[in-house]
Amino acid sequence: MAIKEIKMKAALDQELGSGGDKFLLFYSPWDPFCVEFSPVFEKLAAGSPGSFCKLSIDTVPEAAGAYSVETVPAVLFFRGGNLNRRLDALPERGLSAESLAEFVWLCRGIANK
């Protein structure tokens, strides 16, 4: 599936209000960890069912504040419009393809812990 780019807080509210499961990538286009991680997120989104969105913290900074995003990249999972889980980057390390795959797997309820 294609990744939807969110460019305004109102668009984010509308997207989350539509319900369903959503994976939302908070990123910054100039951050090297985000630049490295973006193709990983895009590849997973292309081969996975569900809704994948991304939002630049430079374009919509109030969204980062609303969800306490302090490091990027960060992937937040929403179920039915509510924040359910999050995967935050490690400072000075970012996120890996493995951590994203495991996160998506857990969010989809495949793992029974």
pLDDT in tens, 10-55: 999 999 999 899 999 999 999 999 999 999 999 999 988 779 999 9
Q: Where are the domains of the chain?
A: 4-107
Q: How far apart are CA 16 and CA 56, in angstroms?
A: 16
Q: What is the pTM of this model?
A: 0.93
What pLDDT, on a 0 to 100 scale, did the predictor assign at position 1? 63
Percent of the chain with pLDDT over 70: 96
Question: Into which CATH architecture does domain 4-107 fall?
Answer: 3-Layer(aba) Sandwich (3.40)
Buried b (16+ CB within 10 A) or exposed e, 67-103: bebebbbbbbbbeeeeeeebbbbeeeebbeeebbeeb
Tokens of 86: 């999050």
